[in-house]
A and B are shown apart, each in its own frame.
Chain A
Amino acid sequence: SQTIHQWPATLVQPVGSPLSLECTVEGTSNPNLYWYRQAAGRGLQLLFYSVGIGQISSEVPQNLSASRPQDRQFILSSKKLLLSDSGFYLCAWSVGVLQGTEAFFGQGTRLTVV
């Protein structure tokens, strides 16, 4: 069966520090991968999605970036965090190739920028 791993679960970082969040998927090949952010009391905002290695689509221009160095690995990064980057970051995957399949989420990373 497929599983998705996301770490760390919680993170407290000072303003201006770098960020790296990692997500890996097991049990499937060529998945679509997603990064979402959920600010306190808000909905899920799609940040990036990827349909293959090195292929990244950005939904919201900001100081975050994403990379997909391997088929089942998705990384969210920032060079300098802002207070507004605080939130619940969620990685998700869906079956690639097929259109319109549902996404499955990791456990999330709660990021607090201080």
Chain B
Amino acid sequence: QKEVEQNSGPLSVPEGAIASLNCTYSDRVSQSFFWYRQYSGKSPELIMSIYSNGDKEDGRFTAQLNKASQYVSLLIRDSQPSDSATYLCAVNPSMSKIIFGKGTRLHILP
């Protein structure tokens, strides 16, 4: 069964610290991986995409991919209260399908 697993949280992180969000997926053929942020009552917005093993950095965000371990993570440096949201991991197990994990709630403590 094709699944994306995330810890539901909440994950509480002090302001200014690093928040680490993790995701595992079951379908080995997945080639594309995405992180979305969703504020309460709003639609998800794309933060980052990652396609190759290793790290990809964009500002305060770093995505990490390990296809051998079927593991994707997102690091948020210098966490801000505005980063408090639910973070959704998504994978692309086939050409057109995109499936999501249930999300991790992140709470940045001022």
Contacts and interface: CB of A to CB of B under 8 A. Distances in A.
Interface of A: 32, 34, 36, 42-44, 46, 49, 51, 57, 59, 90, 92, 94, 96, 99-108
Contacts, number: 61
Interface in B73-102: 88, 90, 92, 95-102
Contact of A43 (B32, B42, B46, B102): B102
Most chain B CB inside 10 Å of its own CB: which residue of A49, A96, A103:
A103
A101 to B, nearest CB: 7
Which bucket holds chain B's interface residue count? 20 to 34
Given A43-B100, A44-B100, A103 B90 contact: yes
Contact of A107 (B43, B88, B101): B43
17 contacts: A43-B88, A43-B101, A43-B103, A44-B88, A46-B98, A49-B96, A57-B97, A92-B98, A94-B98, A99-B92, A100-B32, A100-B51, A102-B90, A102-B98, A103-B46, A105-B43, A107-B42
